């Protein structure tokens, strides 16, 4: 029978290690060599756009509340959560922002179709996004809603700044518009009569509209892209944006009069602001803008270190948003990273095909950490990915149950049974094989930090998987179960080396699988205040000789496919 998630969670929660500490002296030779092995640790490296240590704002896009959250929302949130958790564990001050975008014609129409007023509708849907974040253990610092009064005032302030600087004027507009995308498209952009995203477009008849002088910023944007090649990533997306801007920018219609669910234009309540000008401003309104004084969040965290977005909203974040900021005299975000889309079993995900992936169902079926692991490791971050239950089950069983979970179970069971329920009280000198494995573990922080600094989350996971492979190979070669009969001192040394390696693995896996990693750290007997990256190289934070441990339990039970599913 397949274990339910509740059963898995119960198994995990019963594995808390005892906290009995027994301080016994460590071999002088072993102490020296372990210290040497861990001296390779370095701080997370700086990049051309991030010094690696200053306070940083990381953001998801704010999610449009036209319907309940799907796998794309979960994916972006998890990516930002992994990055934020990694940086916090590295000692950085992180402000992780997410939230919901609640205005626009589409919201007003959907609310009306359900017989609800817009505010009640967005209250209901926004709460489902909050619940998803809680369910998936996302560690955001602020959840912003664009219906908040402070946000509306910030957007109106920005409007007035742009107006005073001569970048907004009143004119009229007609053209192709996608209600689903909340986006205007040129005739040349349409594909078979639809938006490039596949959304339906409608011809908007001529109406009064305020315009932003986007065309004035074409050359400034291109210069900025040239001078800051790290601003847009990955490179394929940067090239896409540069090509779009080089094709010529037209002034942007930024208000509408045909609906009223939005932020009112100052001094002209017949108009509501174009939803993207409203939505994009969240990144600074959440920091207290227009208050830019020293000592506030805006002064501390802006410019944002990283905006993570889906590739479908790249243009808004890399063309419109920086142009608005340039016009207002505000610094631009340091980096915008666009990830790809998910398909299901090789097919595009859509309601009409009935193949929408509900992240809540994923968690209910597979558990929180296995879901986090799969979504962050299955594809190159930035590329499109394909989901299938078969792939997910294989990855859970291969990388988590068979490799990481089984390794931890083997180590802890051997220690518990053969060392009187405690960490070995004495160990012998280290061999070359011991030192090599410990050195590999000691360099893991540096190697994973380099990948995180580039948002290469999949490579971060690859390094972790490789480390577990190395440890599994080591235990198979050293065979401590055989050493028990032939050389107990060597057996104790091997088990101690493995526990120290597992300490590194579990501490560095916390950003990806926080609950499961801490279960392993509990079994290892690592105090809760010694689980940050700074503790990896500290002599006094290594596995304490003689410390009592509790009987280990499985952290990643194997996922068994029900017989009905096999049939």
Domain total for the chain?
2
- pLDDT of 128 above 90: yes
Contact between 543 and 501 under an 8 Å Cβ cutoff? The reply is: no
Q: What is the mean pLDDT of residues 30-49?
A: 53
Interhelix angle 406-418/457-478, rounded to 10 degrees, is 40
Q: How far apart are CA 433 and CA 555, in angstroms?
A: 27
* Confidence (pLDDT) at 289: 98
Contact between 312 and 338 under an 8 Å Cβ cutoff? The reply is: no
* Confidence (pLDDT) at 295: 94
- pLDDT of 274 above 70: yes
165-189 pLDDT, tens digit each: 999 999 987 778 776 766 767 777 7
Q: What is the mean pLDDT of residues 197-221?
A: 88
- pLDDT of 327 above 80: yes
Query: HSE-up of 153 (CA within 13 Å, CB side)?
Result: 8
**Residue 206 vs residue 271, higher pLDDT:** 271
Read off the tokens for 475.
């235990």
Contact between 515 and 12 under an 8 Å Cβ cutoff? The reply is: yes
Do 250 and 301 belong to one domain? Answer: yes
C-alpha angle 258-260-264 in degrees, rounded to nearest 5: 115
Contact between 460 and 85 under an 8 Å Cβ cutoff? The reply is: no
Per-residue exposure over 470-500, b if at least 16 CB sit within 10 Å of its own CB, e if not: ebbebbeebebeebbeeeeebbbbbbbbbbb
Reduced to 3 states (helix: H, G, I; strand: E, B; else coil), residue 411 is: helix
For residue 369, is it within any domain? Answer: no
* Confidence (pLDDT) at 538: 94
Do 69 and 37 belong to one domain? Answer: no
Mean pLDDT, all residues of the chain: 89
404-438 pLDDT, tens digit each: 999 999 999 999 999 999 999 999 999 999 999 99
For residue 384, is it within any domain? Answer: no
* Confidence (pLDDT) at 182: 67
Do 21 and 64 belong to one domain? Answer: no
- pLDDT of 29 above 80: no
Do 73 and 179 belong to one domain? Answer: yes
Strand extents, DSSP E, 142-263: 142-145, 168-178, 183-185, 202-212, 232-233, 252-253, 255-256
- pLDDT of 30 above 70: no
CATH number, domain at 494?
Answer: 1.10.730.10
Of the residues 314, 334, 354, the one at which a domain ends: 334
Do 38 and 66 belong to one domain? Answer: no
C-alpha angle 374-375-376 in degrees, rounded to nearest 5: 95
Do 402 and 329 belong to one domain? Answer: no
Beta strand pairing status for 142-145 and 63-64? unpaired
Read off the tokens for 428.
């012998």
For residue 353, is it within any domain? Answer: no
pTM here is 0.89
* Confidence (pLDDT) at 194: 83
Do 30 and 87 belong to one domain? Answer: no
Do 34 and 99 belong to one domain? Answer: no
> How does residue 392 score in pLDDT terms, banded at 50, 70 and 90?
very high
> How does residue 122 score in pLDDT terms, banded at 50, 70 and 90?
very high
Q: What is the mean pLDDT of residues 254-279?
A: 94
> How does residue 563 score in pLDDT terms, banded at 50, 70 and 90?
low
* Confidence (pLDDT) at 467: 98
Domain containing 188 equals 56-334
Instruction: Using alpha carbons, list the distances in angstroms from residue 4 to 8, 96, 395, 518, 558.
Output: 6, 32, 17, 21, 11
Do 185 and 322 belong to one domain? Answer: yes
Q: What is the mean pLDDT of residues 231-248?
A: 97
* Confidence (pLDDT) at 474: 98
For residue 520, is it within any domain? Answer: yes
CATH number, domain at 66?
Answer: 3.40.50.620
* Confidence (pLDDT) at 33: 43
Q: How far apart are CA 318 and CA 545, in angstroms?
A: 54
Do 38 and 61 belong to one domain? Answer: no
């Amino acid at each position: 029978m397949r274990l339910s998630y509740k059963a898995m969670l119960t198994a995990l929660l019963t594995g808390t290690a005892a906290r009995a500490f027994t301080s016994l002296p460590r071999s002088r030779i072993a102490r020296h060599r372990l210290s040497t092995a861990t001296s390779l640790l370095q701080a997370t490296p700086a990049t051309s756009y991030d010094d690696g240590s200053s306070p940083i704002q990381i953001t998801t896009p704010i999610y449009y509340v036209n319907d309940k959250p799907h796998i794309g929302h979960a994916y972006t949130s998890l990516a930002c959560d992994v990055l934020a958790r990694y940086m916090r564990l590295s000692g950085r001050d992180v402000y992780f922002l997410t939230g919901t975008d609640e205005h626009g014609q589409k919201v007003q129409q959907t609310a009306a179709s359900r017989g609800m007023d817009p505010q009640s509708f967005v209250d209901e849907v926004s709460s489902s996004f909050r619940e998803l974040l809680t369910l998936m253990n996302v560690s955001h610092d602020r959840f912003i809603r664009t219906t908040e009064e402070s946000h509306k005032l910030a957007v109106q302030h920005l409007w007035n700044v742009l107006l005073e600087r001569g970048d907004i004027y009143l004119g009229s507009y007609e053209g192709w518009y996608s209600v689903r995308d909340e986006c205007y498209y040129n005739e040349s952009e349409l594909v078979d009569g639809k938006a490039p995203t596949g959304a339906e477009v409608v011809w908007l008849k001529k109406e009064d509209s305020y315009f932003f002088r986007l065309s004035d910023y074409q050359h400034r944007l291109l210069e900025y892209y040239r001078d800051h090649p790290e601003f847009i990533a990955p490179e394929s997306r940067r090239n896409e944006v540069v090509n779009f801007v080089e094709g010529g920018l037209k002034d942007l219609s930024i208000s509408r009069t045909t609906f009223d669910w939005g932020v009112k234009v100052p001094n002209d309540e017949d108009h509501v602001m174009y939803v993207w000008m409203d939505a994009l401003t969240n990144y600074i309104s959440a920091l207290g803008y227009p208050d830019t004084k020293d000592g506030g969040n805006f002064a501390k965290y802006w410019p944002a270190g990283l905006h993570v977005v889906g590739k479908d909203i790249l243009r808004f974040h890399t063309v419109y948003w920086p142009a608005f900021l340039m016009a207002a005299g505000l610094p631009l975000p340091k980096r915008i990273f666009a990830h790809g889309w998910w398909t299901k079993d090789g097919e595009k995900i859509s309601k009409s095909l009935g193949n929408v992936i509900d992240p809540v169902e994923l968690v209910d079926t597979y558990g929180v950490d296995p879901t986090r692991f799969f979504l962050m490791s299955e594809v190159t971050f930035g590329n499109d990915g394909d989901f299938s239950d078969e792939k997910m089950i294989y990855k859970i069983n291969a990388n988590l149950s068979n490799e990481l979970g089984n390794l931890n179970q083997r180590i802890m069971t051997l220690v518990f049974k053969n060392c009187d329920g405690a960490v070995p009280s004495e160990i012998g000198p280290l061999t070359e094989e011991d030192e090599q494995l410990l050195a590999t573990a000691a360099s893991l922080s540096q190697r994973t930090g380099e990948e995180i600094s580039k948002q290469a989350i999949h490579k971060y996971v690859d390094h972790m998987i490789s480390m577990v492979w190395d440890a599994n190979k080591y235990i198979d070669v050293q065979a401590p179960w055989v050493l028990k009969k032939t050389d107990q001192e060597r057996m104790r040394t091997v088990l101690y080396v493995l526990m120290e390696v597992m300490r590194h693995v579990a501490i560095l896996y916390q950003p990806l699988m926080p609950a499961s990693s801490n279960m392993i750290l509990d079994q290892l007997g690592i105090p809760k205040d010694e689980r940050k990256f700074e503790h990896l190289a500290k002599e006094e934070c290594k596995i304490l000789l003689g410390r009592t441990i509790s009987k280990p339990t499985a952290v990643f039970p194997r996922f068994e496919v029900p017989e009905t599913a096999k049939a």
